[in-house]
Structure 1
Amino acid sequence: MSEGQSFTFYSYAIVDENSDDRWAYTGIPEIFFYDEDSAREALRELREDVESEPENSWAPMQLEKIETIPISRESIFALLNDGVGAFVKSYEIIDIVD
């Protein structure tokens, strides 16, 4: 079966230097964006929401660029059965929002 195209998406996550597996299931769904600007805007809005409550404090978040493995029947099964981490070819932290 021929493989399909890879895609680039963007996301964000709490900075956690102690985490061994960025894509481990935490019970909190990942949110993905088509472009960096949309992800950055969502992160800005999240920060405003968090900081609008006096009892909340902002934790540093990392903005990430994610490349998927090529789309194929096998890669879709890996995504469905094993989670997002099985579908990620590479990712890089492109910014830390303190």
Structure 2
Amino acid sequence: MSQGESFTFYTYARVDEDRDDRWAYTGIPEIFFYDEESAREALLELRGDVASDEDDEWLPMQLEKIETRPISRESIFALLNDGIGAFVKSYEIIEIID
């Protein structure tokens, strides 16, 4: 079967060095963005919301760049059956927001 193109998306997650599987389900849905600027703006807005609530504590978050596997029937089935981790070809941490 022919392979389709890969895509690049951006997201953010809590910094957690003890977490073995970055893509394991945590109960908190992933939010993805088309570009780095939109992801950074959303993350900074989240930080502002948390900082404005005296009962909340901001924990460091990481801004991430994600490249998907090429789109194919197999990669879509992997996404549906095994979760986002099976669909991610690579990811990198762009920035830590303290």
Same fold, TM-score > 0.5, yes or no: yes
Q: Give the 5 Å matches for 1:62-77.
A: 62-77=62-77
**Identity rate, percent:** 80
Q: Specify the alignment match of 2:45 in structure 1.
A: 45
How far the C-alpha of 1:57 sits from its partner, in A, is 1.1
Amino acid at match of 2:47: R
TM-score when normalising by structure 2: 0.99
Amino acid at match of 1:64: E
How far the C-alpha of 1:85 sits from its partner, in A, is 0.1
Find out whether 1:36 has 2:36 as its counterpart.
yes
Find out whether 1:27 has 2:27 as its counterpart.
yes
Alignment coverage as a number of residue pairs: 98
How far the C-alpha of 1:93 sits from its partner, in A, is 0.2
CA distance in structure 2 between the aligned counterparts of 1:9 and 1:96, rounded to whole angstroms: 17
TM-score when normalising by structure 1: 0.99
Tell me, which stretches of 5 or more residues in structure 2 are unaligned?
none
RMSD of aligned residue pairs (Cα, Å): 0.4
Tell me, which stretches of 5 or more residues in structure 1 are unaligned?
none
